[in-house]
Amino acid sequence: MQTQLLLLALLLATGPLSAQYVPFFPDAFIVTAKALNLREAPDLSSRKITTLSRGNIVSFIEAHNNGEYVQADTSAPYAPWFKVRYKDKTGYAFGAYLEGTYQLLYEDDIIESIPPLNWYGVFTRDTFSDEIRKVSPKILEEYSEMYGTKVKVLKTDQKEQSKFLIGTTATLKTGYVGPLGSYKIGDFYMADGLFPGSQLSIYPGQEPNDTSFKAAYQLAAVGCAKFENDFVQIRDYHLYLVDYGPQPAARQDLTPWVTPEYPDQSPSVSLLWYGDLDMDNKPDAIIQDCPFEAGCRASLFLSSVAPKGSYLKKVCEHFWPGE
């Protein structure tokens, strides 16, 4: 504990660092349309390079014009154009018909279509553990009091309500994935908020008969709260993942993924879930923040795809409008 408090003090003593909002784009997309044209330029009048089919995987290169949302034509929804690579061909595809190869969804989400991925649900197995199951998602129509009409919502083929759903092109193992069970993070820590001065543990958990070594890390949040313009404002906020295994302790800066869109906006960050979804004996996490004026997002971080020198990598985000 003394080591943890010393490191937290050192983090606070580093002084203000400039943190800028970073938009998220996945490493790869899956095509959701029956046919999608790959073009030389981000314009419907541009020459067609090839036609992509539903289920094709393309690598992300860059977002045109910083990911600005536009309409490809008057009948298309708003979305960015993406520069992507398919096999040996590179060009632009309209983002309305692309979905990330990792997806984080929740039952009862209002949704129009389900991407062609392998789908898994995380469920409460017992009081102190969660499990992951293979599921078949489906779309049902239900009446919504908010909208005053029927809407299409996401369901699964399971009797129990899942905690969340994951879609991926990878094949995941099923079984035990975490130690929370029927409890929420706030039940253990009294609060799940990653506000300045808080420090929460994330770990994979393990079955009673499992004696293998499991990594455990800390999420440490630092910053300064000031009373400005009759409101409490949080300044110089930083979020770190800390590994106390090596000496000195190692850390990864997660701040860019929880930085608000506008500099004068205070961050609001919380830990929603932790466990071991990819079963590599290292913790994964779902972290929620509210970087936009119009809503919040839940971001899934996985350990198995983290680059060398990092512990977690963000693979997808789920947008909560209006929260």
pLDDT tens-digit profile, the chain (323 residues): 333 333 333 333 333 444 678 889 999 999 999 999 999 999 999 999 999 999 999 999 999 998 999 998 888 899 999 999 999 999 999 999 999 999 999 999 999 999 999 999 999 999 999 999 999 999 999 998 888 999 999 999 999 999 999 999 999 999 999 999 999 998 887 789 999 999 999 999 999 888 888 999 999 999 998 888 888 899 999 999 999 999 999 999 999 999 998 888 899 999 999 999 999 999 999 999 999 877 899 999 999 999 999 999 999 999 986 44
Contact present, 179 and 275 (Cβ < 8 Å): yes
Give me the domain span that covers residue 69. Answer: 28-99
pLDDT at position 208 is 86
Distances (CA, A) of 171 to 23, 49, 59, 153: 27, 31, 19, 25
106 located within any domain? yes
Tokens representing residue 232 in the block: 């409490």
Residues 132 and 203 in one domain: no
Amino acid at 223: G
182 located within any domain? no
pLDDT at position 292 is 85
* Domain endpoint, select from 144, 176, 208: 176
Task: Give the integer Cα–Cα distance in Å for 144 and 147.
Answer: 5
Residues 82 and 164 in one domain: no
Residues 197 and 152 in one domain: no
Task: Give the integer Cα–Cα distance in Å for 241 and 86.
Answer: 35
283 located within any domain? yes
- CATH at residue 92: 2.30.30.40
How many domains would you assign to the chain?
Answer: 3
